[in-house]
Amino acid sequence: MNIAKVIVDVPASSINQTFDYSIPIKFQEILEPGMRVIVPFGPRKIMGFVVERVSESSFDKLKDILDVLDLTPVLTKELLELGKWVAHETLSLSITALQAMLPQVLKSKYKKELVRMTDASLPTELEHLFAGRDSIDYEEFEHVNISYYQLQKVIQAGDISVDYLVQSKITKKQILMVKPARESYFLEEAMIDLPKNAKKQKQLLTYFIENHSSISQKELVNKLQTTPGTIKNLVDKGLLETFKTEIFRNPYDDDSIERTTPLELTEEQRQAIEPIHDAIDRNQHDVFLLHGVTGSGKTEVYLQAIQKVINKGEEAIVLVPEIALTPQMVNRFKGRFGKSVAVMHSALSAGEKYDEWQRIHRKEVQVVVGARSAIFAPFENIGIIIIDEEHETTYKQEDQPRYHARDVAIHRGENHNCPVVLGSATPTLESYARAAKGVYKLATLSKRTNDQPMPNIEIIDMRAELHAGNRTMFSRKLKERMEQCIRNGEQVVLLLNRRGYSTFVMCRDCGHVKECPHCDIALTFHKNSNRLKCHYCSYEEMVPTICPECSSDLIRYFGTGTQRVEEALTELIPEARVLRMDVDTTRRKGSHERILKEFGDKKADILLGTQMIAKGLDFENVTLVGVLTADSMLHLPDFRSSEKTFQLLTQVSGRAGRHELTGEVFVQTYTPDHYSIKLASEYNFLDFYKQEMGMRKKFQYPPYYFLALITVSHENKVKVVQTTQRMVQLLIKKVNQNTVVLGPTPSPIPRIKDRYRYQCMIKYRNEPNLRTFLNKIIDQFSDEIKKDNLLISVDLQPYHLM
Ligand code: ADP
Ligand code: ZN
Ligand code: ZN
C-alpha cells in the first residue's frame, strides 16, 4: 500500500481527478488518508490531500511525495467522502470542496511549531531536541534524524501539539482617541478667530469646550455627524490632539458567563422534544422541522436535546445565521455547556478560527456553534445537528462550492445516524412542504413561553400619508408613538428594508443617474467620504458637483439609505438618540456587538438598521418596532420576494415586547393589500404558506420545481449571447420533455467588472442525470474557458438570481 492517491491543489477542471504518488519509506508508517502532502506537479511543488492508499497503480513511473504537512489527518474519512459528495452535488472541483471544509490557516503557508502540552517525558531523541524548551520550530525537527512515526506517536498521545504561528488579533485592538490640546478658554478664543463659514469646526470646538475630555474619534464622528477631516483640521491648528489607545476585549469571555440549568419545559416544548430525544436514543436519522413563533423557547429545546447527546458521549453541531451569532446567542450555549463549546464565527481572526477548529479536532469540545461552514466540523460521533432560523439564505454558499448547509447537514445526519433539527418561526416553503408530506417530522410551538401575546401589528398605508400632505418617510402615527416611547424611557427598533434601494445620485434636470463605468449598476453615495462607490467592483469617484450630461448643478442624491433616514429622524425628533446599524457601521470587527451593547445599555432610544437587526435580538426595553418600507423587496426580480417579505416582517415583529412590557409594531407600506404583508401582520403562516404554494405551482418554482441557473460571462457581448444560446440548445436536446429551459436572458445585473452576463434557467422535476449533462456540456466549452477567459458558472437551487 505504498502508493497514495492525491487530490492536488490545482483549481482546474482538467485536473479534477486523483494523481498517484509513491510514498517514500520515511513516510510509510505515518501517512494516512486525510493528510496534506507536498507533491511535485509538473515543474512545481504543490499541496494535495491524500484520499487513499493503494498498492498498485496503472502508471509505471510514479513520483515521490516530497513532504507530509500533517501528522494527524485534518480530514476524517467521513469528511473525505463528504467532499466528494459536495463536489458532485454542486458541480465543483474536489479540491475546492475539500478546501471549504478547513480553516483558512490550513490553506496557506504558515510557520509551524511543536509545543509541549504535558509534563510527560518524551523519547530520548525528542527530549534532546526540545532541550528543556517548551516549544521549537518545526524546521528543527525536520533537520534532525528522528522518525516521523515517533513524533506522530507523541502527538497522538497528546504530549506534543503542532501549532501554526498565526497572530491572534482579537484581544488587542487600537482605537484612535481625540482630546482637546488646550484649555477651554483657549478654545473659545480660537473659535472667534475661525472664519464664519467654518461651521463644522466650530461645532467640534463647542463640543470640547463643553466636554473637556477624550473621546474615540469614531464616537465623535457619529455623535456630531462630523468627519475625520474636520478633526484633522483642528489637530493641525494645535487645538485638538489625537492619540491611540489599546482596548482589550474578548467577546466570549467564558468565565464571566453565568451558568444556566435546564428549564422546566412547557407542555408544547415537551411534545416537541420527545420524538427528538427518541431519535437520539435510537440512533435514528430523522429530520425535524421545529416551527415555533419567536419567543416560543426553541433554543431551550435545542439545549436540552444537546444535553442528551452529550450525556451519550456524542457531539452536537448548531448552525445559526452569521449575523445572529451575537454574544447574546453564544452565551446561551456557553451558559449551559461552558467550555465544551467551540464557536466558529467569521469575525474571528484566522488564528482564532484555527484555534477553535483545533479544539474540535482534538475532541476538547462536544458542541460547536457556528455559521454555515461549521457544518464541516471534524467531529466523529455526531449525535445531533441543529439549524436555527433554517429559512436564512446565508446557509447557501454563494461561491464554489455552492452548497446549502441544510443539505450537507442531512447528508451528515445520515452518515452518523442522528437527528437533524431545523428551527424557524417562518420555515421555508421547501421545508414546510416536506413536513406537510411527512418527509420531515413537524413539531409546532405556537405560544410564547411567557404567555405574552405576539405584539399587535398595524399596517400603515403610506399613500394615505402622502395624500394628507406628509412627505416624510415617517407616518404621523409612528412619529407620535416614537416620541411617546422616548418620553416613557422605552426603546424603539426601526427597520429600513433596504434591499432593492440604494442611495444614488441623480440629476434633477435631465434625470441622469451616475453609473459604474464597469458594471451596469448605479453607484452608491457614501456620505462620510462624500464619494460614489460601486458595490460590485471596487470602483469609486468623487461626487460630481455638476451633471456630466447636461452641466446642470442640480445634481442630488436620492434613495433611502440608512444615513438619510438617520438624518431625517434626528430632524423630526431632535431629542432622540439614534444608533445606526448597517453594513457601513458594522464593517469593523466587533462593531456589531458594540452597537448592540450600547443599545442594551440604553445609551440610545432608537436602533435604526437594515435586515441585520431583525434577527435574534432580545431587549426587554423595546416596546415599539417600526418597519419603514415593508414593500421595497416585493418588486425585486426574485420569486422568493413575497416569502422574504413575510419572513422579515415576522422576524422583526418578534423583537417587540418579549418581556413584561407589551409591544407594538407599525408596518409602513405602499402596498397594504399584498398578501405577504397582510398575512404577516396576522401572524398567519399557514395561509401564507397555502397562498404562496399556489403561486409557486402556477409559475413553476420551488418547491414544485427544482432550479438550475447557468450564468455565462465574457467581455464580448456577442460571444456571451451566442455561448448561452448554444448551451440552451444542447440542454434542450438532453432534458425531459416537461423540463423547462429558459434563455438566453440578460442577468438582472447585465454587466459586472466589464464582463457581460447572460443566463439560462432550467426548471425541472426529475432529471437524475442533470449533473452529468451539465458537466459534459461545460466540457465542450473547456477550450474557450481555458484560453479565452470565458466563465460559465452553474448554481443548483440558486438563492440569488443575480
Ligand atoms: P425562540 O428561540 O423560540 O425565539 P427563546 O428560546 O429565545 O425562543 O425563548 C424565549 C424566552 O423564553 C427566553 O428568555 C427563554 O429563556 C424563555 N424560556 C424558554 N423556555 C422556557 C421554559 N420552559 N420556561 C420558562 N422560560 C422559558
Ligand atoms: Zn443633467
Ligand atoms: Zn463597478
DSSP string, 429-496: HHHHHHHHTTSSEEEEE-S-TT-PPPPEEEEEEHHHHHHTT--SSS-HHHHHHHHHHHHTT-EEEEE-
Residue nearest to atom 26 of ligand 1 (CA): 449
Confidence of residue 164 (pLDDT cuts 50, 70, 90): confident
Point out the ligand 1 atom lying closest to the alpha carbon of residue 293. Answer: 3
Write down which residue in 63, 85, 107 finishes a domain.
107
C-beta of residue 665 within 8 angstroms of C-beta of residue 459: no
Confidence of residue 373 (pLDDT cuts 50, 70, 90): very high
Q: Same domain, yes or no, for 403 and 282?
A: yes
For residue 501, the model assigns a pLDDT of 46
Evaluate whether residue 242 is within a structural domain.
no
Q: Same domain, yes or no, for 29 and 117?
A: no
- Would the pTM count as exceeding 0.95? no
Q: Same domain, yes or no, for 689 and 710?
A: no
Distance between Cα 627 and ligand 3 center (Å): 30
Distance between Cα 337 and ligand 1 center (Å): 17
Distance between Cα 294 and ligand 1 center (Å): 9
Confidence of residue 284 (pLDDT cuts 50, 70, 90): very high
Q: Per mean pLDDT, which range of 181-185, 578-582, 731-735 is the poorest?
A: 181-185
Candidates 388, 449, 660: which one to mutate for ligand 1, based on the most atoms within 8 Å of Cβ?
449
Q: Alpha-carbon distance 665 to 599, whole Å? A: 19
Evaluate whether residue 335 is within a structural domain.
yes
* Nearest ligand, CA 272: 1
Q: What is the pLDDT of residues 525-572, one digit of tens each?
A: 777 778 888 777 778 898 888 888 888 887 777 655 777 788 889 999
Q: Same domain, yes or no, for 575 and 655?
A: yes
C-beta of residue 56 within 8 angstroms of C-beta of residue 2: no
Q: Same domain, yes or no, for 479 and 403?
A: no
* Domain harbouring 433, CATH code: 3.40.50.300
Write down which residue in 91, 107, 123 finishes a domain.
107
Q: What is the pLDDT of residues 12-36, one digit of tens each?
A: 777 788 999 999 999 999 999 999 9
Q: Same domain, yes or no, for 466 and 439?
A: no
Residue nearest to atom 19 of ligand 1 (CA): 297
The percentage of residues in the chain with a pLDDT greater than 90, rounded to a whole number, is 49
Point out the ligand 1 atom lying closest to the alpha carbon of residue 294. Answer: 4
Q: Alpha-carbon distance 714 to 716, whole Å? A: 5
Q: Same domain, yes or no, for 57 and 125?
A: no
For residue 248, the model assigns a pLDDT of 39
Point out the ligand 1 atom lying closest to the alpha carbon of residue 292. Answer: 3
* Nearest ligand, CA 513: 2
- Dihedral, 770, 775, 778, 782 alpha carbons, nearest 10: -170
Q: Same domain, yes or no, for 7 and 146?
A: no
Q: What is the pLDDT of residues 662-671, one digit of tens each?
A: 789 999 998 8
Write down which residue in 445, 466, 482 finishes a domain.
445
Point out the ligand 1 atom lying closest to the alpha carbon of residue 269. Answer: 23
Mean pLDDT calculated for residue range 727-746: 92
For residue 353, the model assigns a pLDDT of 86
* Nearest ligand, CA 753: 3
Residue 62 is given by DSSP the state: P
Whether the per-residue pLDDT at 657 is higher than 70: the answer is no
Whether the per-residue pLDDT at 677 is higher than 50: the answer is yes
* Nearest ligand, CA 270: 1
Distance between Cα 629 and ligand 2 center (Å): 29
* Nearest ligand, CA 324: 1
Evaluate whether residue 226 is within a structural domain.
no
Distance between Cα 449 and ligand 1 center (Å): 6
Distance between Cα 612 and ligand 2 center (Å): 36
Distance between Cα 659 and ligand 1 center (Å): 11
**Pocket of ligand 1 from Cβ distances under 6 Å:** 263-266, 269, 292, 294-300, 449
Domain count within the chain: 6
Distance between Cα 521 and ligand 3 center (Å): 7
Beta strands in 26-147 (DSSP E): 36-41, 44-54, 67-68, 112-116, 135-137
Evaluate whether residue 241 is within a structural domain.
no
Evaluate whether residue 761 is within a structural domain.
yes
C-beta of residue 39 within 8 angstroms of C-beta of residue 48: yes
Alpha helices, DSSP H, located in 526-587 = 562-572
Q: What is the pLDDT of residues 241-273, one digit of tens each?
A: 888 765 533 445 566 788 899 999 999 999 999
C-beta of residue 520 within 8 angstroms of C-beta of residue 747: no
Work out the angle between the directed axes of helices 717-734 and 770-780 (0-180°, nearest 10): 140
For residue 498, the model assigns a pLDDT of 62
Between these two residues, 362 and 306, which has the higher pLDDT value? 306
Between these two residues, 191 and 528, which has the higher pLDDT value? 191
For residue 432, the model assigns a pLDDT of 98
Q: Which amino acid is residue 234, in one-letter code?
A: L
For residue 635, the model assigns a pLDDT of 67
C-beta of residue 231 within 8 angstroms of C-beta of residue 217: yes
For residue 637, give every residue at least 6 positions away whose Cβ sits within 8 Å of its Cβ, in sequence order, or none.
748, 801
Evaluate whether residue 490 is within a structural domain.
yes
Confidence of residue 500 (pLDDT cuts 50, 70, 90): very low
Q: Which amino acid is residue 632, in one-letter code?
A: S
Q: How far is CA 137 from CA 144, 160, 164, in A?
A: 12, 13, 10
**Domain extent for 512:** 502-559
Q: Same domain, yes or no, for 474 and 623?
A: yes
* Nearest ligand, CA 551: 2
For residue 276, the model assigns a pLDDT of 98
How far is it between the farthest Cα atoms of the chain?
89
Q: Same domain, yes or no, for 37 and 103?
A: yes
Q: Phi, psi at residue 216, to the nearest 5°?
A: -70, 145
Going by their DSSP bridges, the two strands 491-495 and 606-609 should be labelled as: parallel
Q: Same domain, yes or no, for 471 and 535?
A: no
Mean pLDDT calculated for residue range 294-305: 94
Candidates 299, 369, 387, 390: which one to mutate for ligand 1, based on the most atoms within 8 Å of Cβ?
299
Evaluate whether residue 82 is within a structural domain.
yes
Confidence of residue 172 (pLDDT cuts 50, 70, 90): very low
Q: What is the pLDDT of residues 83-127, one digit of tens each?
A: 999 999 999 999 999 999 999 888 766 678 898 888 888 898 898
Q: What is the pLDDT of residues 758-782, one digit of tens each?
A: 999 999 999 999 999 998 998 889 8
For residue 675, the model assigns a pLDDT of 95
Distance between Cα 750 and ligand 3 center (Å): 12
Distance between Cα 647 and ligand 1 center (Å): 20
Evaluate whether residue 288 is within a structural domain.
yes
Confidence of residue 651 (pLDDT cuts 50, 70, 90): confident
Spell out which residues have Cβ within 5 A of ligand 3, the ion: 516, 518-519, 534, 536-537, 539
| Element housing 88 (H / E) | helix 77-90
C-beta of residue 334 within 8 angstroms of C-beta of residue 341: yes
Q: Same domain, yes or no, for 426 and 541?
A: no
Beta strands in 328-393 (DSSP E): 341-344, 367-370, 382-387
Residue nearest to atom 9 of ligand 1 (CA): 297
